[in-house]
Structure 1
Amino acid sequence: MKVGIAFLVAGYVLSQFYRACLAVLAPTLGTEIGAAPGDLAVSLGLWYAGFALMQLPVGAALDRIGPRRTVSVLLLLGGGGGAAVFALATGPWGVHLAMLLIGIGCAPVLMGGYYIFARMYAPAVFGTLAGAMIGVGSLGNLAGSTPLAWVIGAAGWRQTLWGLAAITALVAAAIWRFTRDPARAERAPGASGSVLGLLRIPGLWAILPLMAVNYVAAAGLRGVWAGPYLTQIYGADTAAIGKATLVMGLAMVAGNFLYGPADKLFGSHKRVVFGGNAVLAAILATLWLAPDAGLWQATALMAGAGFFGATFPAIMAHGRSFFPAHLVGRGVTLLNLFSIGGVGVLQFASRPVYEAAAARGTETQAFSALFLFFLVPLVGGLLIYLFARDKGEATH
């Protein structure tokens, strides 16, 4: 099982890489196939849309057939196949299709690991394990920064994507070979067996809005907007973008490792989640008010957004405390649906917000509007989260 978990983590490294690579690829794709920043925002939105739409089917599959077949088949066909489509792209629509397929392929990877953690380990360590998997998986974020820029320069972007298609296929095959499914949980007599049963849990409703918006800014900046922002405001080239996104990626790795066990230190999921997102809101407000304060300041603020915006495992652990054992698969994927769905919807919306602001004013004003767009829903989610219960009762 340890070997199987290791390959699930490797699959999640690929998932993080694919959602982060467009920021570094942006200048090359613009020159080679005419993909503008707005096009790539749509491509990233399609990645998240495909990922989100698969969450409920993936949750049912995890509960019914387990993570081995669910993860390996989708990662091979969607992830490996999508990378091949990307390598063949001749215009923005090719990138759109590729990212949609890759999002579908990556959809079950993290949740497969979380399902194993929830079914085979004590609830008290779920947050630590969840944060560690994201922390190690975030190495994909790092690989999608300076290392990716170097490989593209040395081998070309199409050859790089063909190599990624092969690596993805090999990881999927290893998951099929080494992962072992936990024993199925039996449903208690009279207990609901569907996701509707989860939606009847009152404690979740104050958590879901923040889950839908907490990752939006970090994902949008790291995935697409960091590249255009640094290029158009500061004249940064691919190497400079790679360095800035590497710093942000390192901050995201550190945040995921620290948020996981933080609930033990503070004795509360809620205090950790609220405090981290409140700092994130302050960072976004600073970027909104002064988007052109300087390259190093911008890099530091984006790194701060990556660090303090890494509350996903802490919110997941908070929500996990409400789930009965037989609905763990559906529960974690429901939370992930809100998280990834929120990112996808708002990523789509970020393009017209930016373009409308750019048409009315300067590039500085356009990015200021973009940061405000990321800030407002986060503040709304935080206000609702104030009413969340700190711990659920269904920890068995």
Structure 2
Amino acid sequence: MTTAPRTSQAMVIWIVGLAVYFVAVFHRSSLAVAGLLAAERFEITASQLSTFVVLQLLIYALMQVPVGLMVDRFGPRRVLLTGTLVLTCAQLSFAFADNYAWALSSRFFVGVGDAMTFVCVLRLVNSWFPARRIPLMTQLTGVLGQLGAVAAAVPMTWALSSLGWTRAYLATAAIGAVLLVATLIVVRDSPQARTTAGPLLGLAGIKDSLWASWEHPGTRLGFWMHFSTQFSATVLGLLWGYPFFVQGQGLGSASAGLLLTIMVLSIMGFGPAFAWLITRWPWHRSTLVLLVIAAIAGMWALVLSWPGTAPFWLLVLLVVVCGMGGPASMVGFDLGRTSNPVVRVSTATGIINQGGFFASLTTVALIGLLLDWRTPDGVTGYPAEAFTWAMSAQFLLWGLGALQIWRYRRKGRNRLLRDDPDLWSRQSGRPVPGT
């Protein structure tokens, strides 16, 4: 196979994998515009409705390590096919669900299928693209895949109003069926084989693989990078952004929607820029992430301390800076890739991918608890003062994450010096000590 056909084949395989991830995010987010209809259809309360989101995120996070182990064992193609099949069947089930228990179980399996996509696509990127292009392709995968959340808004709103609940969700399941066939035909694990398989691991082998991945300070550094950078934008986009802008800052619904759209555009814009930076200066990947954390925390401090409601231009700056957190979280995967051998890279990716989602779940819960605590009985909606308290909970996670990043970047650099002094010297620009 010549270089040109292999490059074009790599792009086709990546596009199909990206489409699966895009649709997984679409499925994950499709309930966002159907909340009121779901509450009416299943006759549930607001807290029961929020359980859909919490359950999906929790299952997604808990599945990351098992999925990473499966990808290392069975190859990304098989796991991606399985995830696509589970997602499609789950959406098909959700289309016909007519009670809360049935709907909740369907969303449980949406979370399972969703969890089996992203790690697979990153493994395909690592197998099909040269090392110098992997950071860019990783950023593009994360950025373009997340557009599924944007795509879920307008099309699903139209479909639900025009086609009704069942036919709208049947249409989304049909998209998954088409991608299942495309994945089966197009995707190959590597240029050398359609499907690959790692060594058979018993319980002892799984334990050793997990420990070897987690033991490496590069994996832990990647975990805390993902933990510290992703959650603020995720919390805004997934649940609390709209209430904060409308009730906490007194904006109209159109302005709140515009701010959330700007945040998505910010995520898209910073992705390629960060990929170029970490490719050019890999030694300073953790420095870039620490600067992003400082910028996000600084903008939140300014907005929350502003007398009265913050001006619109400051809220625009807030969402733009928060959008930097998405691409910054992807830097963690680059640490995992360069810190682990290829047979463990998906396991390490799964471990790292848990960080941001656990942080998001924690933040969502803390904000909800603090809002309830600071809202007087009998008051409709949440007062601005309650949002100031609630959104300040984020500083606890940034503080913890920044401290851990500082610790593990030192350990990671010392480990690199021990394992590969020449690479340490090239990346740091300093001579190896003692030479």
Q: Bin the TM-score by the shorter chain.
A: 0.7 to 0.9
Conserved? CA contact 1:17–1:144, under 8 Å = yes
Task: Go from structure 1 to structure 2 and tell me whether the alpha carbon gap of 1:36 and 1:302 turns closer, same or farther (over 3 Å shift).
Answer: farther
Q: CA deviation at 1:157?
A: 4.9
Q: Does structure 1 residue 272 correspond to structure 2 residue 272?
A: no
Q: How does 1:184-203 map to 2 (within 5 A)?
A: 184=196, 194-203=209-218
Partner residue, 1:68: 77
Q: 1:117 to 1:84 in 2, by over 3 A?
A: same
Of the three residues 92, 99, 117, the one matched with 1:109 is 117
Structure 1 residue 223 displacement after superposition = 1.2
Q: Alpha-carbon deviations, 1:38-82, whole Å to 9, x = none? A: 4444322211111122112211211111111111112221x2233
What is the CA–CA distance in structure 1 between the aligned matches of 2:133 and 2:102, rounded to whole Å?
42
Q: 2:309 aligns with which of 292, 297, 306?
A: 292
Q: Judge conservation of contact 2:227–2:356 (CA < 8 Å) in 1.
A: yes
Against the structure 1 CA distance between its residues 368 and 259, is the aligned structure 2 distance closer, same or farther, given a 3 Å change threshold? same
The answer to whether 1:326 aligns with 2:339 is no
Taking structure 1 as the reference length, what is the TM-score of the superposition? 0.85
Q: Distance between the aligned counterparts of 2:318 and 2:245, measured in 1? A: 12
Deviations 1:3-51 (A, max 9, x none): 3321110111123334444544445545665666544443222111111
The answer to whether 1:214 aligns with 2:229 is: yes
5+ long unaligned stretches in structure 1? none
Instruction: Check conservation: 2:222, 2:333, Cα contact below 8 A.
Output: no
Following the alignment from structure 2 to structure 1, what is the Cα–Cα distance between the partners of residues 103 and 309? 30
> Structure 1 residues 230, 346: CA separation in 2 closer, same or farther (over 3 Å shift)?
closer
Which deviates more, 312-321 or 295-304? 295-304
Q: Equivalent residue for 2:179?
A: 171
CA contact (8 A) 1:50 1:103 kept: yes
Equivalent positions of 1:1-396 (< 5 A) are: 1-2=9-10, 3-30=12-39, 33=42, 38-77=47-86, 79-89=87-97, 96-182=104-190, 184=196, 194-233=209-248, 234=250, 236-237=252-253, 242-267=257-282, 268-290=284-306, 292-294=309-311, 297-359=314-376, 362-387=382-407, 388-389=409-410, 393=416
- 8 Å CA contact 2:336, 2:345 repeated in 1: no
- Note if contact 1:211-1:339 (Cα within 8 Å) is conserved in structure 2: yes
Determine the C-alpha separation between the residues in 2 that align with 1:98 and 1:279: 39
Query: How far apart are 1:215 and its partner, in Å?
Result: 1.2
Q: Is the 8 A contact 2:228 2:402 kept in 1?
A: no
CA shift in 2, pair 1:96/1:65, >3 Å: same
Q: Any gaps of 5 or more consecutive residues in structure 2?
A: 1-8, 200-204, 424-435
Question: Is the 8 Å Cα contact of residues 131 and 313 (structure 1) preserved in structure 2?
Answer: yes
RMSD (Å), alpha carbons = 3.2
Larger Rg over CA atoms: 2
Query: Residue type of the partner of 2:123?
Result: Y
Higher mean C-alpha deviation, range 316-325 or range 193-202: 193-202
Post-superposition Cα deviations, 1:86-135, rounded to whole Å, max 9, x if no partner, equal 43455665554343221110112111111122234343332111101112
CA distance change for structure 1 residues 170 and 92 in 2, over 3 Å: closer, same or farther? Answer: same
From the superposition, tell whether residues 304 and 161 of structure 1 become closer, same or farther in structure 2 (CA, over 3 Å). Answer: farther
Asked if the contact 2:54/2:361 (under 8 Å) is kept, the reply is yes
| AA of the residue aligned to 1:204 | T
- Which structure has more relative contact order (CA 8 Å, sep 6+)? It is 1
Q: Secondary structure at the match of 1:292?
A: coil
What CA distance in whole angstroms lies between the structure 2 residues aligned with 1:137 and 1:36? 31
CA contact (8 A) 2:292 2:325 kept: yes
